Amino acid sequence: MVYYTIDQLARLIDHTNLKPFATEKDMHKLCEEAVTYHFKMVAINQVQTKICSELLAGTDIQTGAAISFPLGQTSIAAKVAETEDAIKNGANEIDYVINITEVKNKNWNYLKKEMEEIVTICRKASVLSKVIFENAYLTDTEKIELCTIANIVEPDFIKTSTGFAPSGATFEDIKLMRKHTKETVQIKAAGGIRDAATFKQMIALGATRIGTSSGIKIIQSLTKEVENGEISI
């Protein structure tokens, strides 16, 4: 059992608005909420990187750009260019989607090269890298193979889902990913995490970052559970 303050739990949340119709006004709202609740990051589509990085300048809230989102079906060169452009425009975290077609082709060398190129760019720029598996479309064997590649390349995080697939994060996937990945590679759970009970269970199973658009609701609910300034998970 681990004890957390509300602020420590808020700092595990990537506050998310990845809707294709999100406006500039929505980005202002997202960033204001992230500052108010002291979330770790705003997770946004790559094109909104500049505005969010400017809105968050002078704060400790990160700007997280989603790359090749949500399908992952672009070339390595395209993902590299998108990543470099996001960093140029102020992104300090990158969440990219793997090429799922190449998983189905069992082209593990391609996927390793893709991960290496993006992680290397991020590492050189002191930017966190997160690799989105999109587990809804993968078998357990495929997930484990990707974990094995991550153990070699060592991105900062591997991540369950985009939130746009038929299903998002599951407890079983967090267990599997934590079991097959070295401790230096962290786990991000995302997709369908909408309440405090699910949030706490994901943390208990080994996730150290949670992507959700329900962060405010979750933190408000957790605040009611506080005893002596802390919550046990």
Residues tagged active-site: 95, 159, 188
Tokens linked to 97: 């989607």
Bridge partners (DSSP) listed for residue 230: 227
* 3-class secondary structure, 126: coil
Report the candidate in 117, 122, 57 with the shortest Cα–Cα distance to residue 94.
Answer: 122
- Burial, 184: exposed, middle or buried (Cβ in 10 Å; 0-12, 13-18, 19+)? exposed
Report the candidate in 78, 140, 142 with the shortest Cα–Cα distance to residue 114.
Answer: 78
Q: Which residue stretches of the chain are H helix? A: 6-10, 24-37, 49-55, 76-88, 100-104, 108-124, 140-153, 171-180, 196-204, 215-223
DSSP string, 37-56: HT-SEEEEEGGGHHHHHHHT
